[in-house]
Amino acid sequence: MYIDLLTDSGTSAMSDRQWAGMMLGDEAYAGSRNYYNLEAAVHEHYGYKHLIPTHQGRGAEHLLSQLCIKPGDSVPGNMYFTTTRHHQEAAGGAFVDVIIDEAHDPASEHPFKGNVDLDKMRRLIEEVGTVRFPYLSLETNVNMAGGQPSSMENIRDVCALCHEHGIPVYLDATRAIENAWFIKQREPGFADRSIKSILLEICSHTDGCTMSAKKDSLVNIGGFLAVNDDGLAERARNLVVVYEGLHTYGGLAGRDMEAMAIGIAESVQEDHIRARIGQVEYLGEQLLEAGVPIVRPIGGHGIFVDAARFLPHIPRAHFPAQSLAAALYVDSGVRSMERGGVSAGRDPKTGENFFPSLELIRLTIPRRVYTQAHMDVVAESVIELYQHPDRVNGLEMIYESEHLRFFQARFRSVAPVTVGDVSGAPTAVKQTQS
Ligand SMILES: *Cc1c(COP(=O)(O)O)cnc(C)c1O
């Protein structure tokens, strides 16, 4: 592995201050002082009243889903995220996509492709009523759409609409700071505001959040659930003991909570976030210049290459994005991540493959790890393949795990298809799990 762009999750470099914090771990089973430092940091930066730490983001998603979703409920969200949807479905809910249509179009230049479509939301409220509607799951800087932000105006309006109908809004705040950066750049009235104050305002419209601190918060492990509702917090504190650990550590060591508290304060620093997103742009600009089809506008945490356009000779059933990820690795030792049909999995009811409109690979940039020279190597390899798409073969899936298959699936190369074979029509792939 030469350059590892699989994910920016837990792969960022911690600062000297965070490492110093690791030496101050208070490993008391109950009431570690690091918990109180973390509580203060979350309160200061995210504003919510109650903190329940968890080992990572999905731990918080699990708690929220189990506590709020009943079988038969609909859970709307602005595009799905893999683990989020999994926990919603495991609790008996059905995910409903309410993101604006532009988010599904890689070429659309809409500045806020993470926005919720208010009309879709209104129609859903009319159809479903508010009884079978536990909450709106609102993701900031939508990962699967390419790291695309929501505007403050949209967050404010959609929260007002939900609250009018008594529906709470829970934020997936994993990338809220990257979202705050784009609000500052693109939304009128925010240019002179600090990232810290924009983040607080985003959160102030909502009722709580789940958080994977492995992203924005610059730690290798950690996450939390934060809510304002006293009753829900009480129930979450009770449930976290069953799945993660006592409510003052939630599956984390004291030192991990200290590093997270310090990471949260660093994550809103303007220099940091400018350099972080600037590096993503640096890579994206090179690919755009060479004509490589990528999701636009350039997102916050990585470059998303449109594999369907990159490899038009590979039908969806042979997983163009997974095929491109494999070819890139063979070419240059650069590891990327499939975000297309493999990640989307199957419809839990029919067992059929989902084939989402976006068939992408993600070149995800860890924070504070690589130099611009590394980005040059990545660009060179992607451009090389783009100029020789015939070097890339389709894949067939030979092993598929039952849950979140993209993490563990295995593939085999299929013979190159001839142009006449290209149907693009999804055909079912045989399930090989035992
Ligand atoms: C990573 C991520 C999660 C899940 O968090 P983990 O820490 O990996 O469990 C949830 N939502 C989004 C948007 C993410 O990027």
**Residue 415 in tokens:** 């013979």
Tell me, yes or no, if the pTM score tops 0.85. Answer: yes
pLDDT score, position 428: 40
What pLDDT is attached to residue 349?
A: 86
User: Are 82 and 356 a contacting pair, CB within 8 Å?
Assistant: no
Residue nearest to atom 12 of ligand 1 (CA): 174
Q: Which CATH class is domain 14-269?
A: alpha beta
Q: Identify the pLDDT of residue 416.
A: 55
Tokens (6 digits) for 211: 């958080």
Distance CA(175)–CA(249), nearest Å, equals 23
Domain(s) labelled CATH 3.40.640.10 in the chain stretch across 14-269
Check: CATH 3.90.1150.10 for 271-433? Answer: yes
Question: Hey, what are 232's tokens?
Answer: 């829900």
Residues with pLDDT less than 70, the chain: 416-434
pLDDT for res 354: 87
Name the packing angle between helices 152-164 and 195-204 (round to 10°).
Answer: 20
Report the DSSP pairing between strands 337-339 and 360-364. antiparallel
- C-alpha distances out from residue 244 to 6, 57, 60, 240, 294, Å: 26, 12, 10, 5, 39
**Which residues of the chain form CATH 3.90.1150.10?**
271-433
Q: How far apart are the first and last CA of the chain?
A: 31
Three-class SS state of 21: helix
Task: Identify the bridge partners of residue 51 per DSSP, sorted by sequence position.
Answer: 226
DSSP β-bridge partners for residue 411: 397
- State in Å: Cα 176 to ligand 1 middle: 12
The 8 Å CB, 24+ separation contacts for 239-243 are 239/63, 239/66, 239/67, 240/52, 240/53, 240/54, 240/59, 240/63, 243/59, 243/62, 243/63
Q: If you measure from the C-alpha of residue 425 to the centroid of ligand 1, how many angstroms do you get, rounded to a whole number?
A: 31
Q: Which pLDDT score is estimated for 427? A: 41
By annotation, the residues acting in catalysis are: 29, 81-82, 172, 215, 339, 406
Rounded Cα gap, residues 212 and 205, in angstroms: 20
Residues with CB under 6 Å of ligand 1 are 9, 56-58, 81, 83-84, 139, 143, 172, 174, 212, 214-215, 223
